[in-house]
Amino acid sequence: MKKLIKKAQVKNLFFLLTNMGLIAAVGCSIITPRIVAENIDNSNIAQSIQQKITVKDLQGFNGVIKSIALSPDNNILLVATGDGTINGLDLEQEKVIYSKVNDVNEYSSIVVTSDQKKLVSAEKENIKILSLKDGKRIKTLRGHSGKISDLALSPDDKMLVSVSGADRTIRIWDFASGDLIKTLGTDIGPTTNVAFTPDGKMFISGAIGQDRTLKFWDVSNLELIKSSPKQPGYINDLKITPDGKKLVAAVKNYVKVWDLATGAELLNMKGPSLEINSIAISPDNRLVATANKEGNIMLFDLIEGRQLATLKGHQGWVLSLVFSPDGRYLYSGAEDKIIKIWQLLP
């Protein structure tokens, strides 16, 4: 098998593996599941996590794993790599759907529409909208003058927000038409992260540089509602819990949690020694996963603020994390060109 995989990487890996019928492989081999970590907490919330966490590796990618996303029905895994390729994998039928090469070889973010019809990718300073079914390009949105840092779609897929720390703007787009609705300018600081609340009434942006604040924006009029106090470090990532009650942000090497309604700080959890660059929240609002340059992933209890486990195995920077819709699995992509699928629940 290893010899076949090596030959396929040189010639046509995707074609070979598709016809071989390998499960869950975007042109990659799968390493047998193995135990990688044990649950280190005995609290009630931790009891739902299986005591011996296992992992599968997806290998064979030709570039760094820049961003990963799952369709809401958990059937399609999207993988954007550093060699300029977006790979689409049908997890249910166990086959590669497409592999699309981008002309600028640089991705920063990919998201899937809630109707599961389109894929949106940030490719340097442009936004590409593709068909989720076959990867064909539908349209390109242009306007940013620097690399796009993050994307967010409103829950109804009507509004797209893109942020760029390079050109220091937030741009709001009508997703259906592709028209630019509004540009929020340089006075907001270099913004690198953005997320919508589940009710679609507000989006929140996070800044780095000297600003280092969270800003809350009203979707109805695109005006600033409020800003948070200046944070002690860069806001490297932010997420909102699926129930819309909490805001979670990676600030330096801490995970900070706020009550979204009152603004009160609920938790300030210390993570690894190096800065946290990516976080993900489980669908049941109970867990937050964090990643950093060391290659380790830490799991925390979002209710009580306890560390539950440390997942080790990646070599180098872990760049993207996503939970499966049922919360059983955590997907991670890293500089080592590997996607790991961690089974957290039985």
User: Strand, coil or helix: what is 45?
Assistant: helix
Closest of 40, 47, 70 to residue 325, by C-alpha: 70
Distance CA 254, CA 135 (A): 37
Q: Map out the domains of the chain as residue ranges.
A: 2-343
Sorted by sequence, the CB contacts under 8 Å of residue 71 that are 6+ apart come out as 78, 112, 116, 132
For residue 302, name the pLDDT band (cuts at 50, 70, 90).
Answer: very high
Half-sphere exposure of 119 (CA within 13 A, CB side): 28
- pLDDT, position 69: 96
Residue 19 pLDDT level (bands cut at 50, 70, 90): very low
Helical axes 2-10 vs 13-20, angle rounded to 10°: 140
Report whether 225 contacts 261 (CB < 8 A). no
pLDDT digits (tens, 9 = 90+) for 198-210: 999 999 999 888 8
Quote the pLDDT of residue 105.
64
In sequence order, the β-bridge partners of residue 111 are: 120
Element (H, E) at 203: strand 202-207
Task: With a cut of 70, say whether residue 43 has pLDDT above it.
Answer: no
**What is the average per-residue pLDDT within 316-328?**
94
Work out the mean pLDDT of the chain and round it to a whole number: 84
Q: Is 147 exposed, middle or buried (0-12, 13-18, 19+ CB in 10 A)?
A: middle
Q: Using the predicted structure, report yes or no on whether residue 16 has a pLDDT greater than 60.
A: no
Whether the per-residue pLDDT at 323 is higher than 90: the answer is yes
Dist CA 339 CA 70 (whole Å): 13
DSSP of 54-94, one letter per residue?
EEEEEE--SS-EEEEEE-TTS-EEEEEETTTEEEEEETTTT
Is the pLDDT assigned to residue 20 strictly greater than 50? Answer: no
Place of tokens 């598709």: 18
Match domain 2-343 to its CATH number in 3.30.70.1070, 2.130.10.10, 2.60.40.10, 2.40.50.140: 2.130.10.10
> What is the b/e burial string over 184-221, where b = at least 16 CB atoms within 10 angstroms of the residue's CB?
beeebbbbbbbbbbeebebbbbbbbeebbbbbbbebee
For residue 103, what pLDDT is reported? 67
Q: Pull the structure tokens for residue 229.
A: 């106090």
pLDDT at 56 over 80: yes
- pLDDT tier, 3 (very low <50, low <70, confident <90, very high otherwise): very low
Give the model's pLDDT for residue 27: 43
What percentage of the chain reaches a pLDDT higher than 70? 84
Report the pLDDT value the prediction gives residue 48, as an integer from 0 to 100. 54
Q: How many CB atoms lie within 10 A of CB 142?
A: 10
What pLDDT score does 11 carry? 29
Q: Summarize pLDDT for 97-143 with one digit per residue, the tens.
A: 898 887 666 777 999 999 999 999 998 899 999 999 999 999 999 99
The values of phi and psi at residue 47, to 5°, are -65, -20
Which stretch of DSSP H or E encloses residue 8?
A: helix 2-10
| Residues in contact with 16: Cβ distance below 8 Å, sequence separation at least 6, in sequence order | 4, 7, 8
Predicted confidence (pLDDT) per residue in 222-260, tens digit = 999 999 999 988 999 999 999 999 999 999 999 999 999
Model confidence at 333, in pLDDT bands (50, 70, 90)? very high
First to last CA, the chain: 29
Helix, strand and coil content of the chain, in percent to the nearest 5, comes to: 5, 50, 45
- Cα(50)–Cα(307) distance, integer angstroms: 15
Q: Write out pLDDT tens, residues 145-188.
A: 999 999 999 999 999 999 999 999 999 999 999 999 999 975 67
- Which of 272, 227, 275, 217 lies closest to 250, judged by CA? 275
Helix (H, G, I), strand (E, B) or coil at 338: coil
Q: Are strands 329-334 and 150-153 parallel, antiparallel or unpaired?
A: unpaired
**Model confidence at 4: pLDDT above 70:** no
Of the two residues 177 and 18, the one the predictor is more confident about is: 177
The model's pLDDT over 59-69, given as tens digits with 9 standing for 90+, comes to 878 889 999 99
Q: Which of 136, 258, 107 is nearest to 195 (CA)?
A: 258
Q: Is the pLDDT of residue 79 over 60?
A: yes
